[in-house]
């Protein structure tokens, strides 16, 4: 298992980006999918930090770079990246974040710090198991799980809390 940096701790983030791009190239090759320049650029923009980015934020940055971009440009790229498990959509924020465990099957659980905005994606088998069990008990067939925890990360808890 690859150890990943904690989003809210200072770290060599360029390593995160490089890893994400490597993973993406790998996965797209496996899937016979094309990581076109736009798709790759959107992925890079999403990975510029561990904070979820809105589609229109991505759009603004693409436009600033002189790219001919309209909303569908971004949404298509994001759809593609989601489909191949490279980014996740955070429903409670209407925003997108890079997947921390691409390739591995996982049901994401997101710890969202509403102070610093960073998101940590956990894979918590015990939680997934409990969710599955609860759904089973109702004879409910689970297709997708949205699990987003909003709160305060350790780093922000320690800080003076300016607001």
Which residues are part of a known binding site for Zn(2+)? 113, 116, 153, 156
- Choose among DNA, a second copy, Zn ion, none what residue 124 binds, the Cβ cut-off being 5 to 8 Å by kind: a second copy
Binding segment for DNA (CB under 7 A), chosen from 6-14, 43-51, 52-60, 148-156, is 52-60
Kindly tell me which residue out of 126, 161, 162, 163 binds a second copy, with binding defined by CB under 8 A.
126
* Nearest residue to 88 (alpha-carbon basis) of 133, 141, 143, 47: 47
Q: What residues from 80 to 109 belong to the interface with a second copy (CB under 8 A)? A: 91-92, 109
Spatial separation of the C-alpha atoms in residues 122 and 107, rounded to whole Å: 9
Reference 99, options 12, 9, 21, 10; nearest CA is 21
Which does residue 13 bind out of Zn ion, DNA, a second copy, none, counting CB within 5 to 8 angstroms by kind? Zn ion
Neighbours of 4 (CB within 10 A): 14
Structure tokens at 123: 């894979």
d(CA 42, CA 78): 7
Q: Which stretch binds DNA (CB under 7 A): 1-9, 76-84, 104-112, 124-132?
A: 76-84
What would the two tokens of residue 60 be? 């603004």
Q: Which is nearer to a second copy, 70 or 130 (CB)?
A: 130
| 3-state SS record for 33-64 | CCCCHHHHHHHHHHCCCCCCECHHHHHHHHHH
Is 92 among the residues that bind DNA (CB under 7 A)?
A: no
Among 3, 144, 161, 163, binds a second copy (CB under 8 A): 144
Query: Which residues of this protein are in contact with a second copy, per CB under 8 A?
Result: 91-92, 109, 111, 113-114, 120, 122, 124, 126-127, 129-131, 133-135, 138-154, 157
């Amino acid at each position: 298992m690859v150890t990943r940096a904690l989003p809210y701790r200072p770290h060599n983030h360029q390593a995160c980006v490089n890893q994400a791009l490597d993973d993406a190239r790998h996965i797209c090759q496996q899937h016979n999918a094309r990581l076109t320049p736009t798709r790759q650029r959107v992925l890079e923009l999403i990975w510029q930090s561990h904070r979820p980015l809105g589609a229109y934020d991505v759009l603004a940055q693409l436009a600033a770079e002189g790219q001919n971009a309209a909303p569908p440009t971004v949404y298509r790229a994001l759809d593609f990246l989601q489909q191949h498990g490279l980014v996740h959509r955070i429903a409670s924020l209407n925003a997108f974040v890079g997947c921390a465990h691409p390739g591995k099957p996982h049901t994401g659980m997101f710890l969202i710090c509403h102070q610093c905005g960073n998101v940590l994606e956990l894979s918590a088998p015990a939680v997934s198991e409990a969710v599955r069990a609860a759904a089973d008990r109702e004879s409910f067939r689970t297709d997708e799980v949205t699990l987003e925890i909003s709160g305060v990360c350790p780093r922000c808890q320690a800080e003076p809390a300016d607001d």
